[in-house]
């Protein structure tokens, strides 16, 4: 969805997740930014305060972009994107040009430049731009940011340099950084959401100053101020004389996301999760083929301290597809072993040609015969893979998909990202190109150490947390997990595996979080291990999901504030309702606490379009079968981290 309304002096754009409005008489600055829920919207700005409104304090006084009207030129306008450009004066010394690009995913980019008039000179004393968000009274707020300072991640291969970050901060905390933080984000939970329904991020690409050869001091301040939660970028911390010829350019972005609650090719793009309730089998076979020359001399035989030696063995037998399908799997992810060279996180780069094309075609073909979708592994730092034909040779558009590791523009040293530059725009456009590759009905699953909407907002789902670090918050509590995992802006998958650093994610607790918060999981299929053993922890939930009979097209999840169709009278009880295209509904109830809980869950059958339909408990091993009284589920004693479900079908 992308609706554009041009009614001078305003330009209004609405997406499935957001509403933006610019005032052309006020420098084409944003005067309205709303995040959308289900049937509601919430304003982020107070009294049409223009933002980000670049302000310069010079020896001639203070001038701001919003002080002047603009000349506007409208460009591209279609169902995916709207573009317009604005030109104006900044005081009596500068020309300003701004190019706005608004995307259906709920993201606005603005590339701007200021040019000092020919023959002029002026002393610049300060320069700043800011977003004041009116969210201090919101029911729930969690804050986080990405830094430009390095975060070294040591493993057995080398130092991986990610970005320093801080997540899940309280709204009362402040941020003070000696550079322009590339991303400051807020998870927002309004009254209708139990936890978080929307994600807001302010992004700036370059940490460069106005003056001083772009290397003068800059600063970011964020936190409560004047009744708002403000993000302020200071682009000049040291007085500087500017002398023509002089210009400055940068690019900022404002991303407004919403929880992913729809599925299928007709789903609203800003809310689409085509792997909702997916029963995923992640095929993780060794990939290192020995050799005495590059690239094999650079490929490590293992990548983490917990990992076994990854010397390649035979490809998985075709019968392993049947093994997964017989247990209910409907998505296969093929990790990097299928490639000619799987690489090692960019050093060396991977070779995305199939190592054994005949086997790969047969394996994927068998999966398709069993009604399964297939996703190939690739890395976001190896964008040349987009030019390869492996997708077209083996996979089906609008059905299959891609699993993107290193799915972030915030990894220093990759994707042109440095301490001074973050490739946010280029990354976002790359992900949109990936979407075109897999199709509206296909899927994109991202894996990133630190979740941000700018990194994964255009994906269907993400795996938050790296294997060996930074996943400790995912199972701390339902609220903390919902924030840490970015449930407010993307579908959520949990990592899995049986190594010591991942074992908790292959537990009954992890399965309960999946049941109660609407997550999926990635149990591994590995050599010499029956998949039923790796999958045992999540099999009870798979059996419940399978009872729906077909893939869900929507989910009702109180955690993210969807239309209420369930009411639970115990705080520990978390409910999720999936609904298929034929109207059939699957209602799940999970106890996300350490003790047994008694309670009731009332289901609004009329809201589901199922008034008068019978409710049938699902009998599945390892689950709790609730009693049913009319439209009420009676939980007489659901155990700690237990869960169960019922199916509701229309009567003939």
Q: How far is CA 283 from CA 146, 309, 315, 497, in A?
A: 32, 16, 10, 11
Which of 178-187, 304-313, 419-428, 455-464 shows the lowest mean pLDDT across its residues? 304-313
Task: Please give the pLDDT value at position 610.
Answer: 97
How do the residues of the chain divide into helix, strand and coil, expressed in percent and rounded to 5?
Answer: 15, 40, 45
User: If you search the block for the tokens 């073909």, which residue do you land on?
Assistant: 365
Q: CA-CA distance, 441 to 48, in Å (whole number)?
A: 38
Q: How far is CA 197 from CA 17, 35, 166, 470, 587, in A?
A: 10, 9, 20, 23, 20
Is residue 511 within 8 Å of 475, Cβ to Cβ?
no
Quick one: tokens of 440? 């509206």
Task: Please give the pLDDT value at position 306.
Answer: 67
Q: CA-CA distance, 464 to 522, in Å (whole number)?
A: 12
Which run of H or of E encompasses 510?
helix 508-517
Residue 41, judged by CB atoms within 10 A of its CB (0-12, 13-18, 19+), counts as middle
What interhelical angle do 357-369 and 319-326 show, nearest 10?
30
The pLDDT-based confidence of 313 (bands split at 50, 70, 90) is: confident
Across the chain, mean pLDDT equals 93
Predicted confidence (pLDDT) at residue 12 exceeds the cutoff of 90: yes
Is residue 220 within 8 Å of 129, Cβ to Cβ?
no
Quick one: tokens of 403? 């699993």
Task: Please give the pLDDT value at position 470.
Answer: 57
Quick one: tokens of 345? 């996180």
Is residue 25 within 8 Å of 69, Cβ to Cβ?
yes
Q: What residues are paired with 408 via a beta bridge?
A: none
Q: CA-CA distance, 629 to 631, in Å (whole number)?
A: 6
SS3 542: helix
Is residue 50 within 8 Å of 29, Cβ to Cβ?
yes
CA angle, 237 then 147 then 35, to 5°: 95
Q: Strand locations in 296-369, DSSP E?
A: 331-334, 339-341, 351-354
Q: CA-CA distance, 207 to 214, in Å (whole number)?
A: 8
Predicted confidence (pLDDT) at residue 415 exceeds the cutoff of 80: no
Which of 144-153, 157-166, 201-210, 362-371 shows the lowest mean pLDDT across its residues? 157-166
In Å, the largest CA–CA distance within the chain is 83
Q: CA-CA distance, 175 to 219, in Å (whole number)?
A: 10
Rounded to the nearest 10 degrees, how much is the dihedral formed by the CA atoms of 208, 214, 218, 222?
Answer: -20
Task: Please give the pLDDT value at position 393.
Answer: 96
Task: Please give the pLDDT value at position 416.
Answer: 77
- Phi, psi (5° rounding) for residue 261? -130, 10
Phi-psi region of 299 (alpha: psi -120 to 50; beta: other; left: phi over 0): beta
Q: List pLDDT tens digits, range 505-564.
A: 899 999 999 999 999 999 999 999 999 999 999 999 999 999 999 999 999 999 999 989
Q: Report CA Rg, the chain.
A: 25
- In the chain, the domains with their CATH numbers are 2-258 (2.70.98.10), 269-287+308-340+354-549 (3.20.20.80), 554-648 (2.60.40.1180)
Task: Please give the pLDDT value at position 498.
Answer: 64
Decide the pairing of beta strands 520-521 and 491-494. parallel
Which run of H or of E encompasses 429?
helix 424-438
Which run of H or of E encompasses 438?
helix 424-438
Q: List pLDDT tens digits, range 58-104.
A: 999 999 999 999 999 999 999 999 999 999 999 999 999 999 999 99
Q: List pLDDT tens digits, range 261-292.
A: 999 988 999 999 999 999 999 999 998 888 88
User: If you search the block for the tokens 């023509």, which residue do you land on?
Assistant: 244
Residue predicted with more confidence, 153 or 320 = 320
Q: CA-CA distance, 12 to 23, in Å (whole number)?
A: 9
Task: Please give the pLDDT value at position 499.
Answer: 65
Which of 24-33, 77-86, 328-337, 381-390 shows the lowest mean pLDDT across its residues? 381-390
The pLDDT-based confidence of 607 (bands split at 50, 70, 90) is: very high
Phi-psi region of 64 (alpha: psi -120 to 50; beta: other; left: phi over 0): beta
- The DSSP call for residue 51 is B
The contacts of residue 399 (CB under 8 Å, 6+ apart) are 373, 439, 441, 442
Q: CA-CA distance, 189 to 172, in Å (whole number)?
A: 16
Task: Please give the pLDDT value at position 449.
Answer: 67
Q: List pLDDT tens digits, range 111-135.
A: 999 999 999 999 999 999 999 999 9
Is residue 401 within 8 Å of 443, Cβ to Cβ?
yes
Nearest to 407 by CA among 386, 430, 381: 381
Q: CA-CA distance, 348 to 299, in Å (whole number)?
A: 7
């Amino acid at each position: 969805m992308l609706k554009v309304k041009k009614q001078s002096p305003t330009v209004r754009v609405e997406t499935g997740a957001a509403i933006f409005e610019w005032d052309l008489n006020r420098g084409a600055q944003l005067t309205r930014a709303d995040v959308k829920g289900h049937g509601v919207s919430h304003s982020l700005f107070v009294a049409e305060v223009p933002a980000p409104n670049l302000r310069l304090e010079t020896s001639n006084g203070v001038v701001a972009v919003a002080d002047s009207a603009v000349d506007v030129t409208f460009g591209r306008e279609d169902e995916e994107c709207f573009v317009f450009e604005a030109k104006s004066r900044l005081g009596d010394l500068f020309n300003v040009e701004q190019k706005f690009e608004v995307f259906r995913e709920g993201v606005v980019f603005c590339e701007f430049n200021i040019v000092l008039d020919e023959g002029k000179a002026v002393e610049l004393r300060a320069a700043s731009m800011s977003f004041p968000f009116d969210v201090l009274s919101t029911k729930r707020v969690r804050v986080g940011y990405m830094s430009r300072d390095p975060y070294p991640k040591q493993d057995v291969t080398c130092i991986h340099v990610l970005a320093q970050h801080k997540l899940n901060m309280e709204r009362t905390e402040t941020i003070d950084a000696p550079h322009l933080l590339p991303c400051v984000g807020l998870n927002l939970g309004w009254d209708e959401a139990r936890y978080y329904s929307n994600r807001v991020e302010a992004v700036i690409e370059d940490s460069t100053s106005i003056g001083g050869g772009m290397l003068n001091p800059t600063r970011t301040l964020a936190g409560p101020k004047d009744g708002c939660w403000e993000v302020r970028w200071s682009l000049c911390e040291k007085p500087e004389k500017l002398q023509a010829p002089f210009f400055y350019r940068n690019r900022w972005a404002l991303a407004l996301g919403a929880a992913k609650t729809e599925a299928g090719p007709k789903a609203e793009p800003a809310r689409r999760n085509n792997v909702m309730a997916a029963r995923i089998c992640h095929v993780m076979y060794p990939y290192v083929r020995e050799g005495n020359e590059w690239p094999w001399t650079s490929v490590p035989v293992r990548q983490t301290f917990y990992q076994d030696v990854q010397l390649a063995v035979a490809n998985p037998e075709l019968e392993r597809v049947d093994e997964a399908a017989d247990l209910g799997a409907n998505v296969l992810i093929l990790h990097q072993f299928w490639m000619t060279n799987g690489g090692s996180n960019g050093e060396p780069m991977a070779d995305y040609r199939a190592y054994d094309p005949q086997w790969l075609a047969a394996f994927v073909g068998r999966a398709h015969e069993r009604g399964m979708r297939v996703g190939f592994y690739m890395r976001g730092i190896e964008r040349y893979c987009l030019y390869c034909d492996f997708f077209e040779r083996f996979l089906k558009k609008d059905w299959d998909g891609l699993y993107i590791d290193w799915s972030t523009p915030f990894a220093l040293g990759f994707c042109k990202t440095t301490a001074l530059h973050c490739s946010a725009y280029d990354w976002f456009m790359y992900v949109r190109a990936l979407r075109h590759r897999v199709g509206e009905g296909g899927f994109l699953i991202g894996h990133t150490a630190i979740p941000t909407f700018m990194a994964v907002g255009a994906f269907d789902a993400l795996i938050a947390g790296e294997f060996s670090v930074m996943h400790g918050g995912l199972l701390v509590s339902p609220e903390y997990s919902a924030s840490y995992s970015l449930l407010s802006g993307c579908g959520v998958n949990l990592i899995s595996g049986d190594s010591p650093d991942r074992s908790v994610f292959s537990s009954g607790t992890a399965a309960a979080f999946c049941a109660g918060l609407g997550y999926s999981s990635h149990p591994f299929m590995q050599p010499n291990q029956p998949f039923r053993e790796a999958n045992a922890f999540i099999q009870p939930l798979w059996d419940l999901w399978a009872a729906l009979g077909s893939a869900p097209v929507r989910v009702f999840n109180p955690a993210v504030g969807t239309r209420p169709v369930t009411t639970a009278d115990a705080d520990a009880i978390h409910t999720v309702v999936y609904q298929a295209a034929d109207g059939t509904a699957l209602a799940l109830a999970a106890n996300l606490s350490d003790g047994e809980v008694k309670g009731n869950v009332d289901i609004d059958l009329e809201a589901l379009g199922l008034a008068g339909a019978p409710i049938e408990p699902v009998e599945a091993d390892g689950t709790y079968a609730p009693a049913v009284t009319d439209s009420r589920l009676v939980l007489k004693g659901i155990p700690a981290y237990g869960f169960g479900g019922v199916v509701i079908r229309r009567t003939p």
